[in-house]
Amino acid sequence: MEDDARKLEEGRLYNKDHFISEKVNKTSDHNGGGNAIDHDHEEKNKVAVVATPLEEEQIKGNDAGGSYARIDHSPWNGCTLADFVMPFFLFIVGVAIALALKKIPKINDAIKKIILRTLKLMFWGIILQGGYSHAPDDLSYGVDMKKIRWFGILQRIALVYFVVALIETFTTKLRPTVLEPGHLSIFTAYKWQWIGGFVAFLVYMITTFSLYVPDWSFVVHNKDHGSKEYLVKCGMRGHLGPACNAVGYVDRQVWGINHIYTQPVWRRLKACTLSSPSDGPLREGAPSWCTGPFEPEGLLRMVKLDSHACRVTLRLKQWVSMGFVLIVIAIILHFTDAIPINKQLYSFSYVCFTAGAAGLVFSGFYLLIDVWGYRTPFLFLEWIGMNAMLVFVMAAQGIFAAFVNGWYYKSPDNSLVHWIQKHVFINVWHSKRLGTLLYVIFGEILFWVVVAGILHKFRIYWKL
């Protein structure tokens, strides 16, 4: 029946008859009572979930992923368009490391630059995703330090950049300036990068499949119904479902249960909502972990392979063949259920699949632009890439939209951004979903392409 527990968590087993209530404990503290559940214990052959209905919660979706779930992040296993963004970005970070550090001849200068850039990325990550900024719709700001989110997208990039850049800095002089012919030269010349990647692989795999995950609890705060504490019973190893995986356990121990992301994408699983794969109210009898926190950008992630792969893309033939090999490995692991492709866990198959795809895409652009000379059609990518930090902060994190929303008439919902969304896109097409998608394409992506092009014309860049 442990297979049933895994199917339940992944949303493949959601018939109401399978929701077996083993026990519901009443607990109390100064904030009030709560519900406790016993969840797929290793020595018990039952699937235990909360038997009482949870509060309905509708998560707002103001972007294309919120309107079209198929291009949003996968609720758990699988890979969608949005799941390629982070690995591709890490891929380019690795390429940039290899090229940028060549311009700094002294090791001490390179180390100072690496440390400073890492601290800048950490600072902006905490400001933008730690909870201080509520952009773009909430015009308030500030964060309770008891609930600040310590880890996020920029923090992870900072950590990856720091480790990979240091390896690159200390090993540059240890390898030949010209690679010898042969397929193995890419392994011998960059042996320290491969060793670093292999060590990260071992740490991740051993921890994921060997670390004992004990029971854990969390508190859900509701303005109308007070606070409720939920207990998730685990007591297992090697589980790859949402509730009892080692990745989440490490983040809860390192950062603290109150300092990790509170709206994980697993809320869109069939086990949690009838609206799956879209956001929606929690279904009656949904497992309590559906409301639990989970850090998608946490500490224990297989990011080193992506970053190391970036370094070897400078050898086109080797990388094309390696990209195909990585994709084949990922597909075999996924469809045999050995290690499913999972962005939230950064599973090994996910890393192989996205690293291979990134390498093939990069190789394709290299051929089109550098070899065949088709640069003009892709200039917009160059503009955005040279001002990636500006676009990320102002567009992806909604800072510019929040600034515009701050100038409203009578009501915060009556701002220029909301007016454009409603009257130029949604009302014209008589569809909120299609209107939202078109707004993202033209009102956000195309808008920032133009802005990045203008800034490039005047040589204005936001560099860290």
The pLDDT of residue 53: 33
- Residues 323, 184: Cα–Cα separation, whole Å: 16
The pLDDT of residue 179: 60
Cα→Cα distances 414→136, 180, 408, 418, Å: 14, 64, 6, 6
Beta strand 226-232 pairing with 411-415? unpaired
- Residues 275, 289: Cα–Cα separation, whole Å: 17
The Cβ of residue 239 has, within 10 Å, a number of other Cβ atoms equal to 22
- Residues 53, 410: Cα–Cα separation, whole Å: 38
**Position 411, amino acid:** S
- Residues 388, 315: Cα–Cα separation, whole Å: 25
- Residues 252, 429: Cα–Cα separation, whole Å: 45
Which H/E stretch holds residue 115?
helix 107-129
Cα→Cα distances 123→119, 132, 161, 256, 464, Å: 6, 12, 14, 19, 11
Per-residue pLDDT of the chain (464 residues; tens, 9 = 90+): 445 445 545 444 444 433 333 333 333 333 333 333 334 333 333 333 333 333 333 334 446 666 777 788 899 999 998 899 888 888 888 878 877 777 787 888 889 999 999 999 999 999 998 989 888 888 888 998 988 998 888 988 888 888 888 888 888 766 655 566 666 666 777 777 778 788 888 888 999 999 999 999 998 877 777 788 888 889 999 999 998 999 999 999 999 999 999 889 888 899 999 888 888 888 888 888 888 999 988 777 654 444 444 454 446 677 788 889 999 999 999 999 999 999 999 999 999 999 899 889 988 998 899 889 999 999 999 999 899 999 999 998 889 999 999 999 988 889 999 999 999 999 989 888 888 889 999 989 999 999 999 999 999 998 87
Contacts of 169 (CB under 8 A, 6+ apart): 101, 107, 110, 111, 114
Contacts of 137 (CB under 8 A, 6+ apart): 60, 62, 398, 402, 405, 412
Question: What is the model's pTM?
Answer: 0.82
- Residues 265, 262: Cα–Cα separation, whole Å: 10
Is 420 in contact with 443 (CB distance < 8 Å)?
Answer: yes
Is 357 in contact with 329 (CB distance < 8 Å)?
Answer: no
- Residues 328, 124: Cα–Cα separation, whole Å: 37
Cα→Cα distances 15→11, 232, 286, 411, Å: 10, 21, 11, 44
Strands (E), 160-264: 216-222, 226-232
Tell me which residue of 60, 55, 59 sits closest to 413, measured CA to CA.
Answer: 60
3-state secondary structure of 33: strand
- Residues 300, 209: Cα–Cα separation, whole Å: 12
The pLDDT of residue 23: 34
The pLDDT of residue 159: 86
Tell me which residue of 435, 443, 448, 415 sits closest to 67, measured CA to CA.
Answer: 435
The Cβ of residue 144 has, within 10 Å, a number of other Cβ atoms equal to 8
Q: What is the largest CA-CA distance in the chain?
A: 70
